[in-house]
Amino acid sequence: MSPWKRGIVYALLALMAGFAVFFSLTVFSQTSLRLDEAQSLFQTNRDLGGMVHLIAQDVHVPFYHTLLHFWQLIFGADIFTARMLSLVFFAGTILLTYYLATYAFGRRSIGLFAALLVTISPFMNWYGSEARMYTMLSFMAVLHAIFYIKILRASSTSSWILWTVTAILGLYTHYFFVFVLLAELVAMVLLKRHFADRKPIRNIIIAGAIAGLSLVPWLLYVYSLGFASNTQPALSEPSAGDLFDTYAQFIFGFQTSSINTVIISMWPVAVLLAFFTLQKSNKKIPPETTVFVLLATLPVLCAFLISVTIRPFYLSRYLIVALPALFIFIAWLASRYRKRVALLVRIGLVAMVGVLFVIQVTSPNTPVKEDYRETVEYLTENADSSDVIVLAAPFTIYPVEYYYKGTAKLTTQPIWDRFSAGSVPAFDEATVKQQTEANVSSYQKAWLVLSYDQGYNDKLKKYYDDHYQKLGERKFSPGLVVYEYQIRYDPKVTIE
């Protein structure tokens, strides 16, 4: 490649990374703290031992939190700074995706288009500015896949070592990284004869076992704490719609249900696109394609099947491990069409994603938006020391507490002492009366803040509606509503 062409490629990559940084700094990082982020800060704003103890009681592994802990020590403990760590991994994912796709298919155009898809993905942009481990997870998935493709091409000890190291780091970033290893194992079985390594399956089992064993100390520690899940939200069993919704979210972001319906109901068109991709072409299908197909589908399918058959833990953000592979696969698919068609497909897809990106940013109904900041501003302005703020679900106390500097008392329902060991208490209809009275009876007004419905918000609201006078309500973002109730009618006592 000539120097000026290389320069153009680098400039384009810099532009992409710049796009991500620009939108993060100007749009996404300016949004309200979200529940999960508040939890991250709650966990990392303490000493290392305490942090690890808390994470072990949560549903995650400690690598990201440890990094964030030191990141905050160096750069500052506020949410904006915490989000910048995710942005670093987002930008890194863009660059590594380019490298991986180009390396795998030998064509820079595929690499650039895959990187562009990652850049403009509303899903990636969202998590690129969230103080959670998701962009780090996608980064690890791409980094790890690079060494896998290296092993496919030429067997070398260094590649195996790096594969194992990145596998360990991946497993310590998120439990779902195990699905990446599974997809790679399946790809290896299917592509055995394509591997330069003579005994790839034996080696991957050994290297995978080493990576798996490295997680054992952590699992034993978690086990010693009784697998207590301190803040685990109740997840419902996923439906087939959720499965397709995951891919729709990867590509088109978080959209309102009406837009989502349009997107995922058009699935039959995928049959036509698949046929176009597979029809007469001089370009052979390289074995790497199988790797990306499996990396893009198997983690999602495994999570779905386990969630349906054993225990629900299906969340699209956990499956971000599949996203870079999906985009690389799409970029390769587009390269299979005839030049003019390929250009049209690329432009069409980018335009569509672009429009939906804007909708995700601007629409107040974007489902993942959590405006706790504005909620708290409203409460600070309207609630005073004679009032109580009741939060359900209980773990939503984290983001509210982060912002709230007012004088009203903060409590949760079900009542939860989060500083004592054990998980969030379950909702018990028989104790609603007793707990509500304990929470509100000595206050003038109760501000019931309902979000993250764990299946009982309606019941709780009904109890309040039936027993107290509702003075007003206000919705701040999808699923986040504040209800104002008059509890007592005795005149306020002012102490001068």
Partner 1 sequence: MEFLKSVQVSRLLLLLNVTLSIAYFVCVVWLFPIGNPILFAFLVASEIFHVWQVIGYIHTIWPRKRKRSFDARFQPHVAVFITVCGEPADIIEATVIAAKAMRYPHFSVYLLNDGKVANRKNWQEAEIIAQRQGIRCITRTEPGGAKAGNINHTLRLTVEPYIVVFDADHIPKPEFLIETMGYFVDEKMGFVQSPQYYKNYELNQVAGGSWEQQALFFGPLLKGKDTVNATFMCGTNMVIRRSALDEVGGMSEQSIAEDFLTSLLIHNKKWKSTYVDKVLAEGLAPEDFLSYYKQQFRWARGSLEILFAYNPLFQRGLTWAQRLQYIASASFYLSGLVVLLNALLPLVYFFGAVKPLTINTMTLALIFLPYIFVVLYTLQHTSNFTYTFRALSFSLGSFTIYLKALWFTIIRHKSGFAVTSKKRVSGNHGRLVTPHLVYIGLVVAGIAWGVMREGWSASMLSNIAWAFIYIAAFSPFIAAAFERERKPVEVLA
Closest distance of CB 336 from partner 1, Å: 10
| Cβ distance to partner 1 smaller for residue 277 or 386 | 277
352 touches partner 1 by CB under 8 A: no
| Cβ distance to partner 1 smaller for residue 257 or 441 | 257
Among 16, 264, 298, 353, binds partner 1 (CB under 8 A): 264
281 touches partner 1 by CB under 8 A: yes
Question: CA–CA separation, 360 vs 355, rounded Å?
Answer: 9
| Cβ distance to partner 1 smaller for residue 192 or 474 | 192
Closest distance of CB 475 from partner 1, Å: 25
Among 1, 74, 271, 495, binds partner 1 (CB under 8 A): 271
Among 274, 343, 344, 352, binds partner 1 (CB under 8 A): 274
| Cβ distance to partner 1 smaller for residue 224 or 279 | 279
| Cβ distance to partner 1 smaller for residue 125 or 246 | 246
Closest distance of CB 127 from partner 1, Å: 24
Question: CA–CA separation, 88 vs 106, rounded Å?
Answer: 26
Per CB under 8 A, the segment of 137-145, 164-172, 259-267, 423-431 that binds partner 1 is 259-267
Closest distance of CB 351 from partner 1, Å: 19
CB of 55 within 8 A of CB of 43? Answer: yes
| Cβ distance to partner 1 smaller for residue 259 or 400 | 259
Per CB under 8 A, the segment of 79-87, 145-153, 279-287, 344-352 that binds partner 1 is 279-287
Binders in 158-197 for partner 1, by CB under 8 A: 190
239 touches partner 1 by CB under 8 A: yes
243 touches partner 1 by CB under 8 A: yes
Question: CA–CA separation, 467 vs 335, rounded Å?
Answer: 64
Closest distance of CB 242 from partner 1, Å: 8
Among 30, 265, 407, 442, binds partner 1 (CB under 8 A): 265
Among 209, 270, 344, 438, binds partner 1 (CB under 8 A): 270
Q: Which residues of 455-480 are buried (b: 16+ CB within 10 A; e: fewer)?
A: ebbeebbebbeeebeeeeeeebbbeb
272 touches partner 1 by CB under 8 A: yes
CB of 117 within 8 A of CB of 332? Answer: no
Among 103, 244, 313, 463, binds partner 1 (CB under 8 A): 244
CB of 263 within 8 A of CB of 247? Answer: no
| Cβ distance to partner 1 smaller for residue 295 or 392 | 295
| Cβ distance to partner 1 smaller for residue 38 or 300 | 300
Q: Taking the CB of residue 317, how many other CB atoms lie within 10 A of it? A: 20
Per CB under 8 A, the segment of 273-281, 444-452, 466-474, 476-484 that binds partner 1 is 273-281
| Cβ distance to partner 1 smaller for residue 195 or 398 | 195
310 touches partner 1 by CB under 8 A: no
| Cβ distance to partner 1 smaller for residue 238 or 399 | 238
| Cβ distance to partner 1 smaller for residue 275 or 419 | 275
Closest distance of CB 266 from partner 1, Å: 5
Among 2, 279, 309, 494, binds partner 1 (CB under 8 A): 279
Among 275, 381, 426, 466, binds partner 1 (CB under 8 A): 275
240 touches partner 1 by CB under 8 A: yes
Per CB under 8 A, the segment of 110-118, 196-204, 276-284, 310-318 that binds partner 1 is 276-284
Nearest CA-CA partner of 248 in 105, 90, 132, 367: 367
Q: How many residues bind partner 1 (CB under 8 A)?
A: 24
- Give the footprint of partner 1 on this chain (CB under 8 A): 190, 239-241, 243-244, 261-262, 264-272, 274-276, 278-281
